[in-house]
Structure 1
Amino acid sequence: MSKQDKIAVLIDAENVSNKYIKLIMDEVNNYGIATYKRVYGDYSNPSVMAWMKNLEEYALTPALQCNYTSGKSASDSALIIDAMDILYSGKVSAFCLVSSDSDFTKLAMRLKEAGMNVIGMGEGKTPKSLVSACETFKYLDILYREEALAEAEAVVEDKIAEKDKTTKRVTTQEKKHEVSQDIEEAAEEIVSIPTLSDIEKEVISIISTNAEENGWINIAELGVNLSKRVPGFDPRNYKCRKLSALLEKINLIELNTVENPHNSLLKIVYAKIKD
């Protein structure tokens, strides 16, 4: 996807908390420009009503729906209908479906069949069917918790800075250990995320298949193939900001960083299986 791709962001407010809105929009901005930003739900529901305070700040369009029948969500149908209308308008090249509801699996598949890139976002409870139907999937709860823990750690370090360096060093190490444990627990809660061992097997397989004759592969290419093989893959699910940091955790992988011949300020990282 290009940074200039136009994306339709459709949010199932009955299924996703408004606390994720900044994370959602930040992730979307990494892929392109959000041209449609619609929030679907029955606004008589308190959890949906909470989204009202985000409408102005993020220029969201509320799609008010009333659930006339108990157990049936009119907002789901409205989101699907709007998605198809937007698809046929030809004004976007990608969709971002924000929901943990498996009812949108068929919609994601249909959009991909039409040549659309589909980004999925939801919590760890999202069924594997919806995760697999999307081009890429972001687990909002684990990413949200990781960011919150990072912010908490920064605040603690700022406060400790007023004390002596010895105390700061010990306390910061303890805090980092706590943060690490909390993120590991968060990852364990999301049962559909493959283990690091599973990722290692996929990485080895990709390198074996796609590496150059010298055994090296650009990790950018490795990352693309890994995302295709493992629905929902994101280095941040494993406490790593970047793919290179995740690969460093795999003992069988060797990394080599070289200067970009076209831009000395940029680096290119290659990976290979250790001899």
Structure 2
Amino acid sequence: MLIDADNAQPSIADGMLAEVAKYGTAHVKRAYGDWTSQNLRGWKDQLLAQSIQPIQQFGYTTGKNATDSAMIIDAMDLLYTGNLDGFVIVSSDSDFTRLASRIRESGLTVYGFGQRKTPQPFVAACDKFIYAENLTVTAEEPPANNTRKPTNNQLKGDAKLMNLLRNAVDAASDDSGWATLATVGSIINKQRTDFDPRSYGYGKLGELFAATTLFDLQTRSPGEGKQQVVYVRDIRARSEGP
């Protein structure tokens, strides 16, 4: 995990590490910036609490971001060790677009974290991109998305979203129109690396599908002692299968 501390807010640290834990273990955690600057004071409290190693990088020239270069050099050094399965790049800076692409060319997974203002080329260069705004919810403060959670009519009116969901279900479905939700989610992520049901006010993909009222959801048990599997189907396929 390589963090551009000059370009990321410390408030995302807890949520970000919890998110990373869904995909694997962060064996390397480094935060880059000029730690003599008061601008990074908020990050200093997170360093010890989250066992993040600070990497000092002085700004040698006004207007130039030396942090980016240091992160890229270290990333390539880590890549060549051959000891890692993936990288987490925390920044909203498009300068890391080529780095993400290069890491993926070596067969490793790249997870990006940044704000919604992150340029699309960097978002697309990652295998998965998570927006920081979806991670900054505190226990005392209700999720911001809940205040603007769209109604089912608004969801149905979002043609881009509906096409994404329907096309993914269609691609993964069997002859009766049913598809496992996990497979559908994988297809959606490949098509849109920044897709996140939390962006629509829902914590889970299944909840988002249900909210549209345009899909059937069914939970099946593959057998005793096995984990239940959730299936999804476009309601338009009801006439074609059970």
Q: Which TM-score applies when normalising by structure 2? A: 0.89
1:233 matched to 2:199? The reply is no
1:215 matched to 2:177? The reply is yes
1:84 matched to 2:76? The reply is yes
CA-CA distance at 1:44 after TM superposition: 2.7
Change (3 A) 1:196 1:93: farther
Secondary structure of 1:198's counterpart equals helix
Instruction: Give the aligned residue type for 2:104.
Output: K
**What are the Cα deviations for residues 210-257 of structure 1, in whole angstroms up to 9, with x where unaligned?**
311111100100000001111211111111111110101223211111
**Correspondence for 2:92:** 100
1:180 to 146, 161, 176: 146
Secondary structure of 1:27's counterpart equals helix
- The separation in 2 between residues aligned to 1:179 and 1:31, in whole angstroms, is 24
- The separation in 1 between residues aligned to 2:145 and 2:77, in whole angstroms, is 44
- The separation in 1 between residues aligned to 2:149 and 2:135, in whole angstroms, is 9
1:79-228 to 2 correspondences below 5 Å: 79-144=71-136, 147-148=137-138, 151-153=140-142, 180-182=146-148, 196-228=158-190
Change (3 A) 1:69 1:78: same
> Do the aligned partners of 2:2 and 2:30 also contact (CA within 8 Å) in 1?
yes
**What are the Cα deviations for residues 87-117 of structure 1, in whole angstroms up to 9, with x where unaligned?**
0001110000000000000100000001110
Secondary structure of 2:218's counterpart equals strand
When the two chains are superposed, the root-mean-square deviation of aligned CA atoms in Å is 1.9
1:236-275 to 2 correspondences below 5 Å: 236-263=198-225, 266-275=227-236
Tell me the percent identity: 36
1:51 matched to 2:13? The reply is no
Q: Which TM-score applies when normalising by structure 1? A: 0.78
2:58 to 51, 63, 66: 66
- The separation in 2 between residues aligned to 1:17 and 1:47, in whole angstroms, is 10
Residues matched between the structures, number: 230
**What are the Cα deviations for residues 31-79 of structure 1, in whole angstroms up to 9, with x where unaligned?**
1111110000112322223312211111111110011111111111000
